[in-house]
Amino acid sequence: MILEIIITVLSIFTCFISYLFVLSLRRINQYENFIIQLQQIVEYATEKMKTVDADGHYEADDETGFFFEQLKELQLLFSEIFETEEKEGTINANPEKN
């Protein structure tokens, strides 16, 4: 009798924890998608600004150059968040030999 109660309680607890785990994974995926969208927006804005400023006059200016630098810093932050995938066929060889 006690064994059945313990198994029932543990089963309910396991189901509850599993449900919370699924909810947390959904939330993490939503945040990840949001960050990816922000990264894409920053990359698009940087490309368009570089297109507009083909000669580099605006980027060299103090006031607008600040904005260019902030976009570059945002891109660096976003690139550090996500791991980059290496192409197949690349070998990370250790140059040191024993």
- The whole-number mean pLDDT for each consecutive block of 10 residues of the chain, a chain of 98 residues, reads 94 97 96 89 84 74 77 83 60 46
Nearest to 64 by CA among 47, 49, 45, 51: 49
**pLDDT given for residue 87 in this prediction:** 53
The 10 Å CB-count burial string (b at 16+, else e) for 6-30 is eeeeeeeeeeeeeeeeeeeeeeeee
pLDDT of residue 83: 66
With a CB cutoff of 8 Å and minimum separation 6, the contacts of 36 are 82
pLDDT of residue 95: 47
Question: Tell me, what's the pLDDT at 89?
Answer: 52
